[in-house]
Structure 1
């Protein structure tokens, strides 16, 4: 991979959550083969689904790969941050946000002028050489 960050953007006007996962999977294969594909796709799916379910407007997925870092940003039209709630085993949800917090290395929520950004970051783990 080059030293320049690699970026892809998926806009809600052209895609749904399944398409976002597909784009993310291809992006990871090309630019972040070291990342845990299943964990990242679960986070992408959760964040996009939350944007679709809990906002009345647009969402945008940004994937950025740097040499040792993968950044997943979801921007959406709601200024309200995600809220953890008691899981509802009868189908009412409540499982996604805790899962995002557990699977991503770091998660931040930042306000935007027209909504918010949820950012999940993974760092490449270095492989330690065995001690002699």
Structure 2
């Protein structure tokens, strides 16, 4: 075997190893993205029906407006939940009143990777909100 053949084999082996390492890193990136999207969707689904999740005091969960059963209402809540920045918007109109002291509200939850990050998941549902 000559020196050129040895160098050619080393070049092929190094290219092969580099491609294997690249594929493994790409697979890890895809797996991390899939896990982030899955947990973001789970977070969004749980916050659809629970406007006040049990969070730490430093989560920054903010309720911007109060809720009224007799007026058109838009309640916006933001903060961090499960490591994601979450925006929860609940809207109800007076004409949506199903019964006395019960309104139908549209809820939309958007989950971001950070406060100004990429949108990972969104979920929406219609819920019934009742008065005291």
The two structures share one fold, judged by TM-score above 0.5: no
Task: Select the structure with the greater relative contact order (CA < 8 A; seq sep ≥ 6).
Answer: 1
Q: Which has the higher strand share?
A: 2
Q: TM-score, normalised on structure 1?
A: 0.29
